[in-house]
Structure 1
Amino acid sequence: MLKIRLQRTGRKNDPHFRLIVTESTLKPKTSQFAEIVGTYNVKAGIFEAKADRVKHWISVGAQVTPTVHNLLVSKGVLEGKKVNVLPKKTPQKKEEKAA
């Protein structure tokens, strides 16, 4: 299954990301990806994506990771609501003391 995900590049304490289309079983650090469809500079807040290529890959059947989905929604490439990326907190079970 193809995924559109972020691949970290850049130096230590200076993160830059590539928006890549890759097989979901491959690690993002490998250089085995189908296409680079955008970039994201975290510190400068610059997000660039090739909208036509992203829509093409989604139409082919590529899935989008939640973080990439939120970036694409804020950019206006995709329609819809943002997805909650953070995991749900499970309430801690209180152990009752037996008398």
Structure 2
Amino acid sequence: MLMIRLQRVGRANDPSFRVVLTEKRNATKSGKFLEVLGSYNSRGGKAVLNKERVTKWLKDGVQLSDTARNILINHKLIKGDKVKFIGKNKTKEVVAEVKAQETKAPEAATAQV
């Protein structure tokens, strides 16, 4: 399954990314991509995209990563709401907070009865 996502190419402490078309199962750093569709500089928020190729692949049913989707929405290539996503590092913290809230809610309900 094909996917449009970002591949980091910047120097240390100076991130910049390629917008690439790749197989979903390939690692982003593997260098195995089918086509470079543009670039994205996260510091300035500037993206240079090949709009014709991106729209062609979207019509063919290619999936988007969350970040790539948000970039395309910013540049008005697709319509929709931005996707809020949680990075890998924060997942455990968020899950712990949700579990803590779930345990507090039943205790508060029984205390009020």
Question: What TM-score, normalized by structure 2, do the two folds share?
Answer: 0.76
**Number of matched residues?**
96
| RMSD (Å) for aligned C-alpha atoms | 2.1
Cα-to-partner distance string for 1:8-43 (whole Å, 9 max, x where unaligned):
011110000000000001001112111000101112
Q: Where does residue 46 of structure 1 map in the other structure?
A: 46
Report the alpha carbon displacement of residue 63 of structure 1 after superposing the two structures with TM: 0.2
> Which range is displaced more, 57-66 or 18-27?
57-66
Identity among equivalent positions (%) equals 38
Larger radius of gyration: 2
Report the AA paired with residue 65 of structure 1.
S
Runs of 5+ consecutive residues of structure 1 not aligned to the other structure? none
Question: What TM-score, normalized by structure 1, do the two folds share?
Answer: 0.86
The structure that is helix-richer by fraction is 2
Q: Where does residue 26 of structure 1 map in the other structure?
A: 26
Report the AA paired with residue 62 of structure 2.
A
Runs of 5+ consecutive residues of structure 2 not aligned to the other structure? 108-113
Report the AA paired with residue 77 of structure 2.
V
The structure that is strand-richer by fraction is 1
Q: Where does residue 56 of structure 1 map in the other structure?
A: 56
Report the alpha carbon displacement of residue 86 of structure 1 after superposing the two structures with TM: 2.6
Q: Where does residue 82 of structure 2 map in the other structure?
A: 82
Report SS of the residue matched to 1:10: coil
After TM superposition, the runs of 4+ consecutive aligned structure 1 residues lying more than 3 A away are 87-90
